[in-house]
Structure 1
Amino acid sequence: MCRALSRRLDPEELKEMGNEEYNNGRYAEAVALYERAILIDPEKASYWSNKAAALIGLGRLFDAVQEVKEAVRIDPHYLRAHQRLATLYLRLGEPEKAVNHYKLAKNEASRDDISRANTVQALISKCSEARKKKDWNSVIKESQFAIDTGADSAPQLYAYQAEALLMLSRQEDAEEAMTDAPKFETDASTKFFGPSSNAYQLSVRAQVDLAAGRFETAISLSQMAARIDPGSREISAAARKARSVGSARSMGNDLFKASKFEEATLAYGEGLNQDPHNAILLCNRAACRSKLGQWEKAIEDCNAALTLRPKYSKARLRRADCYAKLEKWEASIQDYEILVLEIPGDEKVRKALQEAKEHLRRHRGEDAKESVHDVIHITCEEQFHGAITSSGKHEDFHALKILLYCYILLAVISLMYQKMVNIVEQRSIATAESVISVPSIKLYMNGSNVKDIDGLDLTEGLDLKQLESFL
């Protein structure tokens, strides 16, 4: 590049330097060199075609189309330029034009190229028909097939996918589809694809933004789509919906900030009347209901939001808090454990998880202590048999049900130790046997108390040293 700037070079030499930059993946430098060659000799078709190739490398497909069209204008028999233009049209979702230029490319294009373009054309037609029938699964299938077949930069196909996914309540997948879609400048896209097609793409993008909670962007895009294609009732209706839902959300937010939670609940509800599947409005209404102590209703809203957007951390966090308010510790812990993975490093979530686990331990511990404090007197074999086979309030003796019947108390303790080791090492045994604690034991010899053994709460966790101390 420095050589080209330091002295006047022959255009062919500039082209060769551009080719070298292109082959090394330095597309911007290649474009600059091809442009210098074009300034010297603007009627050389290969300079324009090579510049188009470099622009493709930069992702500037519309610009590439214009450059290679100029190459074809200069030399209508430039076969490689026709092949390049056909491939661009195919990628952009214009298969009819692609077929035409593949044919003009003659031996520069293969039968497979033409067949692929025809296949994409058939698939786009199938997508359109499936959309009319609201066969959304077919729309997703056919549009993906068309993208994989070669139309990987066709905005309309990504819009078909995103719309279908929204209709199937797969909002996060719809957002991902639009993230993968090519981004083109609005005016250039309208010029290339036409007003109707580009307006549709913008309208679908607006719907995805609305579902994701980007209300201002959704309103802006939907209004732009309505201006581009003012005759479309469908696009106009989508724009009105975006404005209505956005207004309800803004009103609800203002009322929430003013601590007017009942009014805010109604405002978010108005928005949900227009857009029942808006996860953000559902989550916001859940916040209001939580403030009003309506935790069960708040959980219902969070459930609905998470069904629509399973990775919606704010809704999961809100549900975890509501479960905690209702002292449903297991459910709360389950949500917090997912949140720890989704938003690692969040100290508030980590602390909330620890607190929920502590509450659960206390809750289980109190239940266990109540049972441990019950006393049953066993002075003979019959009473021992009765205790370990009894049911009802003395649930702690479920721990003894895993023991063999013993006639000598020392043998009972020995077997208890062996089984308890298994329980400590394999918690699944305790779970299967519903073992939550071990009762206190008082040993008597000749009518005199010789040893007291305190009970154990297995819900708190237990290691072998504790067990040896117990025995």
Structure 2
Amino acid sequence: MPQKRRSQSWTELKQAGNERFKAGQYGEAVSLYSQAINALHKSGQKNQEDLSILHSNRAASYLKDGNCSECIKDCTTSLELAPFGIKALLRRATAYEALERYRQAYVDYKTALQIDCNLPAAHDGTNRMTKALTDIDGPSWREKLPPIPTVPIAMKQKLVQSASPAPTVQQNGTQENSNQVVGDVKKAKLLKEEGNAFVKKGEHKKAIEKYTQSLSQDSTEITTYTNRALCYLSLKMYKEAVRDCEKALQLDSANIKALYRRAQAYMGLKDKRACVEDLNSLLKIEPNNTAAQKLLQEIQKMK
């Protein structure tokens, strides 16, 4: 008789899901995370933290696949199991924003900033939501917000200590030595500041070197990509600028600077259609952006 195949443990299914996610196979990742959730329930283990991570990981896969409603459901479950998880908050905020539920997105971005005030994705998201809600509701927009939960100090300290670095929306459950990560982030920040200083002097090649070194220490810093893209634009290295903007947009799909600079790069490459698409995307997020309006007028005159 053929031997019965051993069923995979929830940890094996989770790892397989992580691998599919990294490979961009988001539908398969959803299936594997779902199997892992079921296996964890059947195992009888009541590990709320592990279950929270699985729901958050599945939410990331749904988000990448454009299924924002399911992403929100999973993030909500994840946050019920482990309150104030940064990844789940950012993923849910991104999904709310995509569905134009700006008030809920604002609340999640602001809650994430209570835990870590240095999160670029949360800062950028809060700024976008502030502009969107001001346009919709006028100066009194804050009066229409749902309550913003207060993160208890003890909970904040626990979350900060346990965080690997502050995660982005796309990261999916990897663990690193926290001391090394903190050191890398500090090095990256210093190198980025050196790059900024070179930009102010107009020394764009030297700035690119510093930004490249910075990204080797921390590849999740959005503004380093958009800053390096600016340097590439100054040197008319348009393809390189497009690549950097694409990396920034993978981390924050509605980043204004990345959309604008990629539009500039496409204009330099004479790709009118792609340039117009980026500018239209930007103006949906920030309708009164005069620089984008002006560039759109210029590109539409091109033959």
TM-score scaled by length of structure 1: 0.36
- 8 Å CA contact 1:320–1:331 kept in 2: the answer is yes
Amino acid at match of 1:145: T
Aligned-residue RMSD, C-alpha: 4.0
Q: Do residues 324 (structure 1) and 267 (structure 2) align? A: yes
| Structure 1 counterpart of 2:58 | 137
1:326, 1:142 → 2: CA distance? 41
| SS of match in other structure, 1:348 | helix
1:242, 1:301 → 2: CA distance? 19
- 8 Å CA contact 1:323–1:331 kept in 2: the answer is yes
Alignment coverage as a number of residue pairs: 200
Q: Do residues 184 (structure 1) and 116 (structure 2) align? A: no
Q: Summarize deviations over 1:134-181 as a string: whole Å, max 9, x none.
A: x93389887632545xx68x23xx236369x6xxxx9x9999855445
Q: Summarize deviations over 1:416-456 as a string: whole Å, max 9, x none.
A: xxxxxxxxxxxxxxxxxxxxxxxxxxxxxxxxxxxxxxxxx
| Structure 1 counterpart of 2:200 | 257
| SS of match in other structure, 2:177 | helix
Q: Do residues 200 (structure 1) and 168 (structure 2) align? A: no
In structure 2, relative to structure 1, the CA distance for the partners of 1:275 and 1:327 (3 Å cut) is: same
Extract unaligned runs of 5+ from structure 1.
Answer: 1-120, 212-231, 364-471
| SS of match in other structure, 2:189 | helix
Match of 2:183 among 240, 249, 260: 240
In structure 2, relative to structure 1, the CA distance for the partners of 1:138 and 1:350 (3 Å cut) is: closer
Amino acid at match of 2:77: F
1:301, 1:265 → 2: CA distance? 11
- Percent identity at matched positions? 22
Amino acid at match of 1:310: S
- 8 Å CA contact 1:123–1:142 kept in 2: the answer is no
CA drift at 1:341? 1.8
- 8 Å CA contact 1:286–1:301 kept in 2: the answer is yes
1:142, 1:341 → 2: CA distance? 27
Q: Do residues 267 (structure 1) and 210 (structure 2) align? A: yes
CA drift at 1:262? 0.4
| SS of match in other structure, 1:288 | helix
Match of 2:88 among 138, 161, 166: 161
Match of 2:50 among 126, 150, 154: 126
Which structure 2 residues correspond to residues 31-110 of structure 1 after superposition, within 5 A? none
1:254, 1:310 → 2: CA distance? 27
Higher Rg: 1
| SS of match in other structure, 1:344 | coil
1:184, 1:136 → 2: CA distance? 23
- 8 Å CA contact 1:323–1:329 kept in 2: the answer is yes
Amino acid at match of 2:256: S
| Structure 2 counterpart of 1:451 | none
CA drift at 1:310? 1.2
- 8 Å CA contact 2:53–2:78 kept in 1: the answer is no
2:219, 2:257 → 1: CA distance? 19
Q: Do residues 343 (structure 1) and 286 (structure 2) align? A: yes
Extract unaligned runs of 5+ from structure 2.
Answer: 1-44, 61-70, 99-104, 113-148
Match of 1:356 among 273, 279, 299: 299
In structure 2, relative to structure 1, the CA distance for the partners of 1:123 and 1:320 (3 Å cut) is: same
Q: Summarize deviations over 1:25-45 as a string: whole Å, max 9, x none.
A: xxxxxxxxxxxxxxxxxxxxx
2:74, 2:279 → 1: CA distance? 39
Structure with higher RCO (Cα < 8 A, 6+ apart): 2
CA drift at 1:344? 1.1
Q: Do residues 290 (structure 1) and 226 (structure 2) align? A: no
